[in-house]
Amino acid sequence: MHLHLRDDDMLKLVAPKTSNTFAGALIMPNLLPPITTKEALLAYKKRIQEACKNDEFEPHVTIFFQVDYSYEFLKEIKDEIIAVKLYPFGVTTNSETGVSSMDVEVLRPTLESMEKLGIPLCVHGETKGFMMDREKEFLPIYESLAINFPDLKIMMEHISSKESIDLLKKYDNLYATITVHHLMLTLDDVVGGMLNPHAFCKPIVKKPEDRKALLQLALSAHPKVMFGSDSAPHQKNTKECHHGAAGVFTSPIALQVLTQLFEEHGKLDNLNAFISLNAQRIYNLNPIKKEIRLIKKDFIVPEVYSYKSEQVVPLFAGQKLVWSIS
């Protein structure tokens, strides 16, 4: 329930890596320029469908939060979108047109309209503070949103710290997504040995105790938690460089890694709820029925995925996973 598909050749390269194994996904709107109009939204959805044409797959598209969205606009677009995604200004990839103030009164007109119309809000919850504390510093903002808009469903995207879990449990209208990389990695995997730019993302993966707490939450398939890969592909040369881009590409490995993780902890029974059933309930979805088969067979993760001039390196490139998709 959190996926970046990009556009053009990159879209053509990465979209099938999700659509071959998933029945649907929530697609993020942070293109350049971001998706803010009905025309751009419908055209993007069409390009996604075209890129996934060999698979049964529902792209649940979103628009990029703007403080000046009118009630009429949101009403008109309501049936086309699954949610609106809010990015604070400058906190992550392509968020330069994000909101410059997280003051509730500034956001109120749009959020009240969304609340009335029943449109969920997805949030990238980070401040511009010290990197390891950015999510923690954002928690009072989540809390104020939850209190001020009690009928608004608020999705705390890609939670990465243990403190977020307490807040999630405290308010009925807060929900969360968790990525594969936040369940698997800590900061040591990014900068503790040799630098690994392919594990660099926002929010940054954190301490072992954060990973552990997130893992417990996911393994229990807590009803307010959904799998959101935040698979965020970037060109190989924009990761392996000076000023490397933030984003981890996990689409082709997500299911296998999650299966391995849930199996290792004896929690395979909860895998379907974490990946799919919780999201269906939270977002009121009725997806097409799609069956895939996972088999206990080694899968060596490719070093790179390519299409024309696009090249993307997945997380765990060259490493062995013990589950494969048949």
Binding region for ligand NCD (CB under 6 A): 4, 30, 92-94, 124, 201-202, 230, 232, 246-247
The one of Zn ion, ligand NCD, none whose footprint includes residue 246, by CB under 5 to 8 A per kind, is ligand NCD
Whether 230 is a known active-site residue: answer yes
Residue 216 has, within 13 A of its CA and on its CB side, a CA count of 9
User: Among 185, 230, 252, 294, which residue interacts with Zn ion (rule: CB under 5 A)?
Assistant: 230
Instruction: Say whether 2 counts as a known binding-site residue.
Output: yes
| 8 Å CB contact between 112 and 52 | no
CB 127 to Zn ion: min, Å: 17
Q: How many residues does the chain have?
A: 326
Instruction: Say whether 245 counts as a known binding-site residue.
Output: no
Q: Interior CA angle at 225 toward 220 and 229, to 5°?
A: 105
Cis check for the bond before 33: say yes or no (omega within 30 of 0). Answer: yes
Instruction: Say whether 75 counts as a known binding-site residue.
Output: no
Name the residue with tokens 């709820």. Answer: 273
Q: Is 30 or 251 the residue whose CB approaches ligand NCD more closely?
A: 30
Q: Is 91 or 294 the residue whose CB approaches ligand NCD more closely?
A: 91
Q: Got the DSSP string for 132-171?
A: GGHHHHHHHHHHHHHHH-TTS-EEETT--SHHHHHHHHH-
Say which of 172, 210, 230, 298 is annotated catalytic: 230
Q: Is 185 or 232 the residue whose CB approaches ligand NCD more closely?
A: 232
| 8 Å CB contact between 246 and 200 | yes
Binding-site residues sit at 2, 4-6, 30, 85, 124, 158, 230, 234, 246
Residue ranges that bind Zn ion, judged by CB under 5 A: 230
Residues that are catalytic: 230
